Structure 1
Amino acid sequence: MGEGIIQDVERYGVIMFVSFSVGNTGPFKEITGITTLAENLKKEFLEENTFEVSGQNYNKISYIYGANGSGKTNYLAALTKMQKMIIMSTVLGANNNKLLEVPAIKKELAAPIETFKFDIDCKSKETYFEIQVIIEEILYTYSFAIQDGKIQKELLTKKKKRTEVLIKRTSPKYEDIVLRSGLSSFKNMVSVVREDALCLAMAAMLNNPLASMILNEIMNYRVINMASVGNAPDFDEENTNEEAIERYLKYLKIADPTLTNLKVDLESKMDKHVLSEDDLENKELVIKNIHVSVQSLHATYKDHKQVGEIELPFLKYESNGTIRMLRVLPAIFEALDAGSTLFIDEIENGLHPNLVKLLAGLFNSNESNPHHAQLICTTHDTLLLDGVRRDQVWFTDKNQYGETRMCRLSDYPNVRSNDNIAVKYLQGVFGAIPNTQDLK
Structure 2
Amino acid sequence: MLIRFEVENFRSIPEPVELSMIAVDDRPEVRAYPKFGASLVPVAGIFGPNASGKSNMLAALGWLSTAVRHSLRAWDDEIPVEPFAFGHAKSRDSSFALELEIEGVRFEYLLDVGRHRVSYEALFHYPEGRRRRVFEREANDLTLQRGLGELSGTRALLTDRSLALSIMRRFDEPITSAFSRSVIRFKDLGQPVGRHRPSIFRFNQYKRTTDIRSTISLFQMPRNEELEFHEDEALLDKSQSPSDRQQAIALLQLADLGVADVEIEEKRIESGRGEPATGYTIRLVHVADGERAPFDYYHESAGTQTWFELIEPVLDALRSGATVLFDELDASLHPTLTAQLIKLFKQKNSNPHGAQLLFTSHDTNLLNHLNRDEVWLTQKASNGATRFAALSDFAGERVRRSANLESGYLSGRFGALPDVSRPEILRDLGLIG
User: Structure 1 length as normaliser, TM-score?
Assistant: 0.77
In structure 2, distance between residues paired with 1:234 and 1:20 = 32
Query: In structure 1, what is the equivalent of residue 33 of structure 2?
Result: 53
Shift of 1:380: 1.9
Shift of 1:259: 5.6
Contact 1:167–1:180 (CA under 8 A) maintained in structure 2: yes
Shift of 1:292: 7.1
The question of 1:209 aligning with 2:174 is answered yes
The unaligned stretches of length 5 or more in structure 2 are 196-207, 224-242, 269-276, 427-433
Over the residues paired in the alignment, what is the CA RMSD in angstroms?
3.0
Query: In structure 1, what is the equivalent of residue 104 of structure 2?
Result: 137
* Of 126-135 and 233-242, the range deviating more from structure 2: 233-242
Shift of 1:236: 6.3
Which protein is richer in strand relative to its size? Answer: 1
The one of 410, 419, 433 equivalent to 1:435 is: 419
Distance 1:346 1:417, change over 3 A: same
Can you list the C-alpha shifts for 1:119-141, whole angstroms capped at 9, x where unaligned?
2x012100112211111222111
Shift of 1:293: 3.8
Letter in 2 for 1:296: R
Contact 2:154–2:167 (CA under 8 A) maintained in structure 1: no
Can you list the C-alpha shifts for 1:283-314, whole angstroms capped at 9, x where unaligned?
xxxxxxx987451143598xx773x64452x2
In structure 1, distance between residues paired with 2:28 and 2:74 = 45
The question of 1:338 aligning with 2:341 is answered no
SS at match of 2:165: helix
Query: In structure 1, what is the equivalent of residue 227 of structure 2?
Result: none
Can you list the C-alpha shifts for 1:200-256, whole angstroms capped at 9, x where unaligned?
211221333322111001111111125899x75261686443544444444545464
In structure 2, distance between residues paired with 1:395 and 1:310 = 43
In structure 2, distance between residues paired with 1:266 and 1:151 = 49
Query: In structure 2, what is the equivalent of residue 384 of structure 1?
Result: 366
Distance 1:218 1:232, change over 3 A: closer
Shift of 1:113: 1.6
Which runs of structure 2 are paired with 1:220-239 in the superposition (5 Å)?
220-226=185-191, 232-233=211-212, 235=214, 239=218
Detail structure 1 runs of 4+ shifted over 6 Å in the superposition: none
In structure 2, distance between residues paired with 1:216 and 1:291 = 32
Contact 1:158–1:165 (CA under 8 A) maintained in structure 2: yes
Distance 1:182 1:426, change over 3 A: farther
In structure 1, distance between residues paired with 2:115 and 2:79 = 12
Query: In structure 1, what is the equivalent of residue 16 of structure 2?
Result: 31
Contact 1:397–1:432 (CA under 8 A) maintained in structure 2: yes
Query: In structure 1, what is the equivalent of residue 202 of structure 2?
Result: none
In structure 1, distance between residues paired with 2:266 and 2:108 = 41
Letter in 1 for 2:28: E
Shift of 1:83: 2.0
Which runs of structure 2 are paired with 1:111-190 in the superposition (5 Å)?
112-119=80-87, 121-159=88-126, 160-171=128-139, 173=140, 176-181=141-146, 183-190=148-155
In structure 2, distance between residues paired with 1:17 and 1:234 = 28
The unaligned stretches of length 5 or more in structure 1 are 1-15, 94-99, 101-108, 268-289
Contact 1:63–1:378 (CA under 8 A) maintained in structure 2: yes
Distance 1:400 1:38, change over 3 A: same
SS at match of 2:57: helix
Contact 1:166–1:182 (CA under 8 A) maintained in structure 2: no
Query: In structure 2, what is the equivalent of residue 369 of structure 1?
Result: 351
Shift of 1:394: 0.7
Letter in 2 for 1:186: L
Which runs of structure 2 are paired with 1:2-401 in the superposition (5 Å)?
16-39=1-24, 43=25, 46-54=26-34, 55-91=37-73, 112-119=80-87, 121-159=88-126, 160-171=128-139, 173=140, 176-181=141-146, 183-226=148-191, 232-233=211-212, 235=214, 239-240=218-219, 241=221, 243-252=243-252, 254=255, 256-257=257-258, 260-263=261-264, 293=280, 295-298=282-285, 306=291, 309-310=293-294, 312=296, 314=297, 316-386=298-368, 388-401=370-383
Query: In structure 2, what is the equivalent of residue 271 of structure 1?
Result: none
The one of 400, 407, 410 equivalent to 1:426 is: 410
Contact 2:78–2:115 (CA under 8 A) maintained in structure 1: no
Distance 1:309 1:402, change over 3 A: same
Contact 1:183–1:210 (CA under 8 A) maintained in structure 2: no
Contact 2:45–2:375 (CA under 8 A) maintained in structure 1: yes
Kindly indicate whether structure 1 or structure 2 has the higher relative contact order, using CA contacts under 8 Å at least 6 residues apart.
1
User: Structure 2 length as normaliser, TM-score?
Assistant: 0.78
Letter in 2 for 1:425: Y
Letter in 1 for 2:10: T
Shift of 1:144: 0.9
SS at match of 2:330: coil
Distance 1:394 1:258, change over 3 A: closer
Shift of 1:118: 2.3
Contact 1:201–1:211 (CA under 8 A) maintained in structure 2: no
- How many residues are treated as equivalent by the alignment? 375
